[in-house]
A and B are shown apart, each in its own frame.
Chain A
């Protein structure tokens, strides 16, 4: 009589298959549109390997991944830290790793979470659709790994390491924020790389022309403005314009830049992505329970993990480490569903567009067309702010006191929501640094401009990063910090920094 898929906690491949089919059926019922799944069962050691290569199945070799591996290994072996239950990769087919140590309910949770939650997010969210190319990423990584290895054979490990170290230091500034790169396949990439190299070798970069220019007597000599507009993608600028780099070094810069670009959407959709996946594992498994496919024991175990994942400690808890993206995201999606299904008067006032509408359609729309910043700005409801007991603190380093600027009440809702949204805005989270001037006709030095926001200074290791930039650029590097029209400081490498 029992129609449970299983009652045991041990998993087998047949059972995984069966759960996957059931979950897929329910996911289709809710209209989740996914890439095909490739589910790989791996051991804990392999999970540590996956961890230390930022979750990518293939990566070029670099000591920093070794460092990460050692840290993970130590943490895990001493029991200080558990491993994630899964890792999922934005590729087509969508690769998800399951750990063999998981029990069957955990595997089902992970399949629902990663293979249907994250997967559908990757396929449908506008940032991923615009900025990444799931079909070619694995091929590109293979290309990158082989290329780095070939460079090491030809030019030596140390040389390659130096370039990669420098690129890693700048990788957050290797992203096009507004232009969409054209997706290309790996084969094409390889061909184009060879072509690029050839052309670069044949041609002389006109920027560095040293032939004397014909004199124009009357016009007073004006300094040539290069680049004509400030550039925010530092790695791209270096790849194209650094005077001394060899072709293969430029290619390495490009590889780091491309991979950085690939991760750019993930950095902007943490709350949404995790929230979406968590919402769906919760919904899908509950659906199976309602259908009588899984028993109470299964649900108890599933709910234990689920509640751990969406727990939000308060600011004064010893476990507090910022706002938990799983908690915030999950509750926001659930709240949207609630607003659609059972709107209160407050909801009708705040969300006239969605109150009482079809929840599934609204949810899919929210997932498709937003990133963390705009998602919070659009959908964070007063109800949820109350539930989380949110409040905002103003911290001025010149004052002795923090000031509470808004709490979860009528006057504070809008302000809280705006502040929280801004917290997830990458352009606010990261310093604004742009290439403004290259002294093309003089000492070839490059000048970067940091535009200070809210008088937040740059971090301590900025000078270290400038040193890396200097190895890539080959000539003097200057970094100026500006607040409006006022230059606050100027740092140069190699040489000393001057405080104005």
Chain B
């Protein structure tokens, strides 16, 4: 007797645990491969998984078996022209033995063991060891934001929450309930009255008419709407996590910024964006570009339009402050800013920049990072910012990027876990 069972609806991910074990064991290899991929790939296409290759010697499970060599006789099928006693030339070393299954197996074995990790796993490895600075502040545990939510109806409340429909329905029910006995009595009396009129009994008629009038008066006394009918919509306050972040991208677009430098900046911004995306539900980006004056622009213009002329960094900071106060009320929003520049600034402007930062912007933002993309010596702006850093270690970070290969290390440095922990 056979039983046929449909198992297709059973879980199909029975191997998930084992897969995770494997990933865990080869964590260091995978992280290396991911770091490589980040530097190699265009960042716009971070949103997919990656093929990971691990040298087979690392994933190999050793077993004791016979090695190659020695003296052995083996049987093969498909003889065409050989006769007993024939001698065959051995193939050159490395070519794999003729007819020797073992040699070709080993040949395959030298390839890397490769497999795919998913997009999420990929991003997880990128952000491994990183944590958003000061994020705990706005984390679930210490949330200060509330959302009001409906929670049924109650009998006490303020007039603006009065539910007319519910109240009227209650009143209607109450009126029916309170008047039921009287109306029944009324009907009886009216029936008696009709009988009396038919019989022509004048005294009974007037008596009945009096009673009817009395009951009708009392029916009218039932209030149309009473205090006890009123129902109010109930609203309760529910704490909500802050899951919104706004990311300000500030960039110098003056003549000295070449497209290469802008590309580096772009990759940094995108990395930051991806990073925030992992931690917040909703993210807005504000692009502010500046030369001698600042302007809020869209992404295309931000990265790809060219300007000439000098540089006044403070103009961008001022504009950012203005936008924050107008649109991003600080309670709801986690504000991050990343500024990229080649270090050029009009000399007199740098002290102003540090003043705006310390007095106006830093109290508002979660984190402000400044990257200077230049292979050259630092200028006045860097020094001005260094004073800011010394007094605002928690919220302000700065670093220099010389070329594309620095992006990821610097990014990691700016958002490194230790630094974050120090900040907390």
Check if A and B associate: yes
Residues of chain A touching chain B, judged by Cβ–Cβ distance below 8 Å, are: 13, 16-17, 20, 24, 36-43, 45-46, 48-49, 52-53, 61-67, 69-71, 73-74, 93, 97, 100, 115, 157, 161, 165, 168-170, 172-173, 312-317, 320-323, 388-397, 400-409, 411-412, 416, 419-420, 423, 429-431, 433, 452-462, 464-465, 468
Residue on B nearest A67 in the bound complex, by CB: B22
Segment touching A, from B61-69, B180-188, B410-418: B61-69
Residue on B nearest A171 in the bound complex, by CB: B63
8 A Cβ contacts from B5-37 to A: 5-8, 10, 12-15, 17-25
| Interface status of B79 (Cβ within 8 A of chain A) | yes
CB distance from B28 to the nearest CB of A (A): 14
Residues of chain B touching chain A, judged by Cβ–Cβ distance below 8 Å, are: 1-8, 10, 12-15, 17-25, 59-80, 82-90, 98-101, 104, 113-116
Chain A residues with CB under 8 Å of B75's CB are: 323, 390-393, 416, 419-420, 423
Bound-complex Cα distance A461 to B116 (A): 27
Bound-complex Cα distance A52 to B18 (A): 9
Bound-complex Cα distance A433 to B63 (A): 12
Chain A residues with CB under 8 Å of B100's CB are: 395
Which residue, of B78, B89, B101, B116, has the highest number of chain A Cβ atoms within 10 A? B78
In the complex the two chains form, is B12's CB within 8 Å of A43's CB? yes
Residue on B nearest A39 in the bound complex, by CB: B4
In the complex the two chains form, is B89's CB within 8 Å of A168's CB? no
Bound-complex Cα distance A408 to B78 (A): 10
CB distance from A301 to the nearest CB of B (A): 21
Chain B residues with CB under 8 Å of A13's CB are: 4, 6
In the complex the two chains form, is B69's CB within 8 Å of A397's CB? yes
Chain B residues with CB under 8 Å of A322's CB are: 101
Chain A residues with CB under 8 Å of B3's CB are: 36-39, 93
Chain B residues with CB under 8 Å of A412's CB are: 84
CB distance from B229 to the nearest CB of A (A): 61
Residue on A nearest B88 in the bound complex, by CB: A402
In the complex the two chains form, is B19's CB within 8 Å of A66's CB? yes
In the complex the two chains form, is A66's CB within 8 Å of B23's CB? yes
Q: Enumerate 11 A-B pairs (CB-CB under 8 Å) in ascending A order.
A: A13-B4, A16-B4, A36-B1, A38-B5, A49-B14, A71-B113, A313-B78, A389-B80, A401-B89, A404-B87, A455-B69
Which residue, of B25, B75, B104, has the highest number of chain A Cβ atoms within 10 A? B75
In the complex the two chains form, is B114's CB within 8 Å of A17's CB? no
Q: Within the complex, which residue of B64, B67, B71, B77 is in contact with A396, where a contact is CB–CB below 8 Å?
A: B71
In the complex the two chains form, is A393's CB within 8 Å of B73's CB? yes
In the complex the two chains form, is B84's CB within 8 Å of A404's CB? yes
Chain B residues with CB under 8 Å of A454's CB are: 70-72
In the complex the two chains form, is A41's CB within 8 Å of B5's CB? yes
Residue on A nearest B59 in the bound complex, by CB: A67
Given A313-B78, A401-B89, A69-B71 contact (CB < 8 Å)? no
Bound-complex Cα distance A24 to B68 (A): 47
Bound-complex Cα distance A323 to B7 (A): 35
Chain A residues with CB under 8 Å of B82's CB are: 391, 404, 407
- Beyond A38-B5, A394-B72, list 20 extra A-B contacts (CB 8 Å): A36-B2, A46-B8, A49-B15, A61-B17, A61-B21, A63-B24, A64-B22, A312-B77, A314-B78, A320-B101, A389-B77, A391-B82, A392-B76, A397-B70, A409-B84, A419-B75, A429-B66, A455-B71, A458-B65, A459-B65
In the complex the two chains form, is A17's CB within 8 Å of B24's CB? no
In the complex the two chains form, is A395's CB within 8 Å of B71's CB? yes
Bound-complex Cα distance A48 to B7 (A): 14
Q: Within the complex, which residue of B67, B87, B114 is in contact with A460, where a contact is CB–CB below 8 Å?
A: B67
In the complex the two chains form, is B113's CB within 8 Å of A41's CB? no
Given A46-B14, A65-B18, A458-B64, A407-B72 contact (CB < 8 Å)? no
In the complex the two chains form, is B22's CB within 8 Å of A39's CB? no
In the complex the two chains form, is B74's CB within 8 Å of A393's CB? yes
In the complex the two chains form, is B83's CB within 8 Å of A407's CB? yes
Bound-complex Cα distance A131 to B23 (A): 36
CB distance from A460 to the nearest CB of B (A): 6
In the complex the two chains form, is B62's CB within 8 Å of A53's CB? no
Bound-complex Cα distance A312 to B101 (A): 14
Residue on B nearest A312 in the bound complex, by CB: B77
Bound-complex Cα distance A115 to B65 (A): 34
In the complex the two chains form, is A395's CB within 8 Å of B4's CB? no
In the complex the two chains form, is A39's CB within 8 Å of B5's CB? yes
Given A49-B15, A313-B78, A392-B73, A320-B60 contact (CB < 8 Å)? no
In the complex the two chains form, is B19's CB within 8 Å of A70's CB? yes
Bound-complex Cα distance A347 to B75 (A): 22
In the complex the two chains form, is B79's CB within 8 Å of A391's CB? yes
Bound-complex Cα distance A353 to B102 (A): 38
Given A46-B12, A454-B72, A66-B64 contact (CB < 8 Å)? no
In the complex the two chains form, is B20's CB within 8 Å of A66's CB? yes
In the complex the two chains form, is B4's CB within 8 Å of A41's CB? yes
In the complex the two chains form, is B61's CB within 8 Å of A168's CB? yes
Chain B residues with CB under 8 Å of A402's CB are: 87-88, 90, 98
Given A404-B83, A405-B84, A169-B69 contact (CB < 8 Å)? no
Q: Within the complex, which residue of A42, A53, A314, A457 is in contact with B8, where a contact is CB–CB below 8 Å?
A: A42
In the complex the two chains form, is B115's CB within 8 Å of A431's CB? no
Q: Within the complex, which residue of A394, A397, A400, A409 is in contact with B89, where a contact is CB–CB below 8 Å?
A: A400
Chain B residues with CB under 8 Å of A456's CB are: 66-67, 69-72
Which residue, of B8, B21, B74, B88, has the highest number of chain A Cβ atoms within 10 A? B74
Bound-complex Cα distance A465 to B66 (A): 13
Q: Within the complex, which residue of B14, B62, B89, B104 is in contact with A169, where a contact is CB–CB below 8 Å?
A: B62
In the complex the two chains form, is B99's CB within 8 Å of A315's CB? yes
Chain A residues with CB under 8 Å of B18's CB are: 52-53, 61-66, 69
In the complex the two chains form, is B67's CB within 8 Å of A316's CB? no
Chain B residues with CB under 8 Å of A67's CB are: 22, 59, 113
In the complex the two chains form, is B7's CB within 8 Å of A40's CB? yes
By Cβ-Cβ distance, the 6 closest A-B pairs, closest first, are: A314-B78, A456-B70, A66-B22, A66-B18, A461-B62, A464-B62
Q: Within the complex, which residue of A73, A170, A465, A468 is in contact with B115, where a contact is CB–CB below 8 Å?
A: A73
Q: Within the complex, which residue of A63, A115, A390, A403 is in contact with B22, where a contact is CB–CB below 8 Å?
A: A63
Chain A residues with CB under 8 Å of B61's CB are: 64, 165, 168-169
Residue on B nearest A70 in the bound complex, by CB: B115
Bound-complex Cα distance A316 to B79 (A): 9
In the complex the two chains form, is B21's CB within 8 Å of A63's CB? yes
Given A46-B7, A46-B14, A49-B14, A408-B79 contact (CB < 8 Å)? yes
Residue on A nearest B115 in the bound complex, by CB: A70
Which residue, of B73, B78, B82, B89, has the highest number of chain A Cβ atoms within 10 A? B73
Q: Within the complex, which residue of B70, B86, B115 is in contact with A455, where a contact is CB–CB below 8 Å?
A: B70
Chain B residues with CB under 8 Å of A429's CB are: 66
Given A41-B8, A66-B20, A391-B75, A401-B113 contact (CB < 8 Å)? no
Q: Within the complex, which residue of B1, B64, B86, B88 is in contact with A431, where a contact is CB–CB below 8 Å?
A: B64
Residue on A nearest B117 in the bound complex, by CB: A70
In the complex the two chains form, is B76's CB within 8 Å of A390's CB? yes
In the complex the two chains form, is B99's CB within 8 Å of A316's CB? yes
Chain B residues with CB under 8 Å of A93's CB are: 3
Q: Within the complex, which residue of A389, A396, A403 is in contact with B85, where a contact is CB–CB below 8 Å?
A: A403
In the complex the two chains form, is B15's CB within 8 Å of A65's CB? yes
Chain A residues with CB under 8 Å of B25's CB are: 63, 161
Q: Within the complex, which residue of A46, A312, A320 is in contact with B10, where a contact is CB–CB below 8 Å?
A: A46
